[in-house]
Amino acid sequence: MGRSEDLKDIVEKPIAAYERVFGCAVSAEMAILDECFSRYERSLDKDFPSSEAPQGYELSQFKVAGVICCWLRKLKPFSTQDAANHLFVNEFIAFLVGYYLVYGYNVRHAKDRPPKIKAHYFDDLVKSFRYNAHSPHSTALIFESLCMGAS
């Protein structure tokens, strides 16, 4: 992944999916979204400094998904006009961003079918993202476990 401008493209498909499912318009606060991506880049630099990475090392797509998902759900850049009826908009979109990073945007997984997520599991996960503390590492494990379950 690169600069923040490039990262903004990854939220378009998840926002469109949310809008399609719930029949509403989602707006993004660009200053907060910029901060999410800035913290994403700092988190990756802190955890995986390029000077210490072995030659040819590629960061796991699960780690990338976990870090960006964590910051999006934590800083909450998304909103709808009817906020009372869309309490989980940030958590829903944050999960979809990670999900699409693992399956939709990654060339190695482009041919894989994403695992089907049962509705009650997805609801529990989104609520957990809102009310519980999830680190980037624990979020990465969630994405990895979804993939392992699909194998």
For residue 146, the model assigns a pLDDT of 79
Architecture of domain 4-150: Up-down Bundle (1.20)
For residue 36, the model assigns a pLDDT of 92
Average model confidence (pLDDT) for the chain? 81
Q: Residues of 19-52 as b/e, b for ≥16 C-beta within 10 angstroms?
A: eeeeeeebebeeebbeebbebbbebbeeeeeeee
Instruction: Identify the CA nearest to 40 among candidates 63, 11, 56.
Output: 63
Beta pairing partners, 81: none
For residue 24, the model assigns a pLDDT of 93
Domain spans, the chain: 4-150
Q: Look at 114 and 24; give whichever has higher pLDDT.
A: 24
Instruction: Identify the CA nearest to 138 among candidates 108, 98, 90.
Output: 98
Residue 107 pLDDT exceeds 50: no
Residue 44 pLDDT exceeds 60: yes
